[in-house]
Amino acid sequence: MAGLIFVCIADEPPADFDETAKIFEPYLAPHDLAKTKVAYQQNIIEEGNWKLVMENNRECYHCDGHPELACSLFPTWGLTEGLIPAHLEEVWDRNKEAQSSLEERCRRYGLPYEVVEELDTRIAGIRISRESLDGEGESFSPDGRRLSKKLLGDLRDFRLGRCSMHLQPNSWFHFQSDHVITFGVFPVNEHQTLVRTTWLVADDAEEGVDYDLDKLTYTWKQTNLQDKAFVELCQKGAGSPPTSRALT
């Protein structure tokens, strides 16, 4: 699908995958993943059940607990008017302004950006949209600036935020103008999970010339370590025996 390969080992794979692919392809095609290469791949074992790993990824109540990521990813993701905590009100206003500017650029370039979310109407829940980034709005960096000098595919602008794609039960993706990050979650056993993160850049991008590998991977390496700690804390709570207290 648009340069991605999905493998399902279930006896009865989802029957609607072709329909899902048609929804995703217009969002992904401009990035031309067939003309990218792997810059780096990281495997982390988290001491937690895979369902806790996925839950941690999908809710964003903890997002402002990621200081490196919060430089570019608005920690108000998933929140709506009336649910914004006081300390994030300024961020929310900045997010709305950045999203409005992004949508104008998307219309100019003919890029889809609308949210498509079908979490309980399909065999495998899906969500995709194009969303603004903070700072310069180009990439996951401390100032929001690009992390690779090479644009992907036929994109003509670095300032296109991120195309965020989620496919249940075990994967999510961030497609930016300069690089792509894919995440796969694989259960090892009932209390251990392998999280695989892969960074993709244009196939003609040269390390040390067009991108610095440490800078390219820094934000999400730190975020992954923080998420690992969050998940493992949740696992300890989920595995704790119930206690009772007398009501007085």
Closest of 41, 71, 39 to residue 208, by C-alpha: 39
Top-level CATH class of 17-238?
alpha beta
- What is the DSSP-derived secondary structure letter of residue 19? H
pLDDT in tens, 67-120: 999 899 987 877 778 888 888 888 889 999 999 999 999 999 999 999 999 988
Tell me the three state secondary structure of residue 228: helix
> Where are the domains positioned within the chain?
17-238
Q: Give the separation between CA 191 and CA 114, rounded to whole angstroms.
A: 36
pTM of the model: 0.91
From 234, 29, 235, 6, select the one nearest 130 (Cα to Cα). Answer: 29
Token pair of 81 as six digits: 């008017």
Instruction: Give tens-digit pLDDT for 138-167.
Output: 999 999 999 999 999 999 999 999 999 999
